[in-house]
Amino acid sequence: MRGIHLLAAGLGLAGLLGGALPVGTAVPAAAARPVPSPPAPAWHPCPPEQKDLVAAGAECASLPVPLDHADPGGRTIRIALSRVRAKDPAHRRGILLSNPGGPGGTGLATTLELRKTLKAVADRYDLIGFDPRFLGGSTPLHCAPAGPAAPPRSVTSPRADFEDGLWRSRSTAERCARPSGNAALLPYASTRDVARDMDAIRAALGEPKLSYYGVSYGADLGAVYTQLFPRRVDRLVIDSSTDPDATQYELFRRSGEPLERGLDAWAAWTARHADTYRLGRTGPEVRAAVERLLAGAERRPVPVGRARLGAPLLRLILRQFVQHQEDDPALARTVRTLVDASAGRPVEPDGELAGLLAFLETPAAQDGMTGGALFMCGDGGWPAGGWPADPEAYWRNIVRARAAQPVFGPLVNDMTAPCAVWKTRPRESATRIANDVPVLMLQARRDGNVPYDGALALHRKLTGSRLVTADIRSHGVYGRGAEGRTAVPCADRVVNAYLGGGRLPAADVTCPAPPVAR
């Protein structure tokens, strides 16, 4: 549910491949305006391309909602929905929605995927999937096609890489503003509007309340829903959330330190397997090998197959792998391959690296990156926003970060989203969280994408919440076993007991680290 969205959408690095691969203020709850109930959805069989939904016997529909919820009689857009009916109607609790993260992730089948971990609890809900507005099947907002990719550089520098990224950001902003009609839609790509769409779905289905699971950006979306519609919440679970007093750019910058700590943990593990990976016999030796690799790529991009991988893309790849402790072997294999390639040795990318590079060339990756930009630039503040207008501010932050964060500092301080050059301005300011809605929160203590102290900050704002902490290096806690990772049974049990109709835990819960086989 999270994996690749973290790379493509969550980071929002729109157009990064163009130069790297040869491929083409406070709003109180009372201010939330009531929205007239839309008509009940007309359900029909899901399209054949939605294979998992078809196999599950799901129904699909398209729901009209206001483009501007403050003008319910004005222009409408359509939200793509799916539904798997409760299999235990005698004990049916209601509807369960979800969001897979991003921003930029589609979610038509996401709630369905929760069944693997929910087990019998899933039978008590109508499982409702939806694509957020302007994504997937929900009145998709398309940017103009990118032109042919610039030939990859054979010689570069950190400043040249930065200038290339700035050019790509400007290009993305231009492309997304260009198609006729986009200017009228872009200001309504916001988290608050997605939360309002969720409430319209609830109303259209005739439900007094909704239940919800959201991970990463989806967790922040859930928190926004509690602020706008506190009396419409039944059971709400948010997994891997952020500090509601920070902007998106601040949150990216804060991830540098935990990412470096995660790299140190990986380096120590790799040193214990020095005979296999030959990257060093101590953690500092392994880290030094990575830093040498990046220093070289900042002068000459690394040739791998038909691609040349510059330092910005290498940092992105490293971040993707270092997120989860189970990926330590894959990261070690990848670094070994890249070190050999940088030395001029012939290499054949293994499955993980080859698959990642292949995905980055797909339309799905590009769409995810663009979708992420829509919402990161459409929000005026938390859970996104806050991007400096002066491009040189990013460069200064990159330079300052190198001393303490040599591997990830240049990545997390860069212009990750093109919001500084975006052609429209946000309509609303940041969402300020302050309520006592009962919420179950989950967070990995060593999350390198959304640091643990951010979840603690949100926990303090959500005074009715309980926090489940997992002592693991991961982005996302619930349902890890269903994704082929090491499950956290303690966390899964707490979530299932709560969604199954139980109460919140009496106090916060700390789950011990499960053993990791690798």
pLDDT the model gives residue 305: 84
Q: Can you give the pLDDT at residue 153?
A: 84
Mean pLDDT of 155-162: 96
- Whether residue 44 is predicted with pLDDT greater than 50 in this model: the reply is yes
Task: Decide if 471 contacts 445 (C-beta within 8 A).
Answer: yes
Token pair in block for residue 36: 């007239």
The two tokens of residue 259 are 């990412």
Using 50, 70 and 90 to split pLDDT, how confident is the model at 352?
confident
pLDDT of residue 365: 67
**Does residue 341 register a pLDDT over 90?**
yes
pLDDT at 21: 34
> Using CA atoms, how far apart are residues 428 and 416, in angstroms rounded to an integer?
21
Mean pLDDT estimate for the chain = 91
CB 47 within 8 A of CB 71: no
What is the predicted pLDDT for the residue at 5?
Answer: 42
Judge whether 155 and 299 are in contact, CB under 8 Å: yes
User: 22: pLDDT confidence band, cut at 50, 70 and 90?
Assistant: very low
pLDDT score at 138: 97
* Mean pLDDT, residues 27-54: 76
364 band by pLDDT with thresholds 50, 70 and 90 = low
61 exposure class (CB count in 10 Å sphere: 0-12, 13-18, 19+): buried
Share of the chain above pLDDT 70, in %: 91
Between CA 507 and CA 509 the distance in angstroms is 6
Domains of the chain as residue ranges with CATH: 43-141+188-244+433-511 (3.40.50.1820), 148-184+252-427 (no CATH)
Taking only the tens place, the pLDDT of each residue in 114-123 is 999 999 999 9
Mean pLDDT of 107-136: 97
% of the chain exceeding 90 in pLDDT: 82
CA-based radius of gyration for the chain: 22
pLDDT greater at residue 317 or residue 12: 317
Name the 3-class secondary structure at 396: helix
pLDDT at 8 over 70: no
Poorest-confidence range of 109-118, 358-367, 413-422? 358-367
Cβ pair 235, 499 in contact under 8 A: yes
Q: Identify the weakest region by mean pLDDT among 95-99, 195-199, 281-285, 301-305.
A: 301-305
Find out whether the peptide bond into 103 is cis, omega within 30 degrees of 0. Answer: yes
Residue 478 near residue 117 (C-beta atoms within 8 A): yes
Question: Is the Cβ–Cβ distance between 491 and 467 less than 8 Å?
Answer: no
pLDDT in tens, 379-390: 999 999 999 999
Distance, in Å, from the CA atom of 452 to the CA atom of 50, rounded to the nearest integer, reads 35
Instruction: Read off the pLDDT of each residue in 443-462 and give the average, rounded to a whole number.
Output: 97
Q: What is the pLDDT of residue 39?
A: 85
pTM above 0.75, yes or no: yes
pLDDT recorded at residue 324:
95
Grade residue 377 by pLDDT with cuts at 50, 70 and 90. very high
Length of the chain equals: 518
pLDDT band of residue 256 (cuts 50, 70, 90) is: very high
Give the burial class of 177: count Cβ atoms within 10 A of its Cβ; 0-12 exposed, 13-18 middle, 19 or more buried.
Answer: middle
Q: In which band, very low, low, confident or very high, does the pLDDT at 284 lie, cut at 50, 70 and 90?
A: very high
Q: How far apart are the C-alpha atoms of 384 and 379, rounded to whole Å?
A: 5
Cβ neighbours for 243, distance < 8 A, ≥ 6 positions apart: 250, 251, 254, 382, 453, 454, 457, 458
Q: Which two tokens stand for residue 379?
A: 């929000």
Q: At what angle do helices 158-177 and 391-401 cross, to 10 degrees?
A: 140
Q: Structure tokens of 162?
A: 């930065």
> How confident is the model at residue 356, as a pLDDT?
83
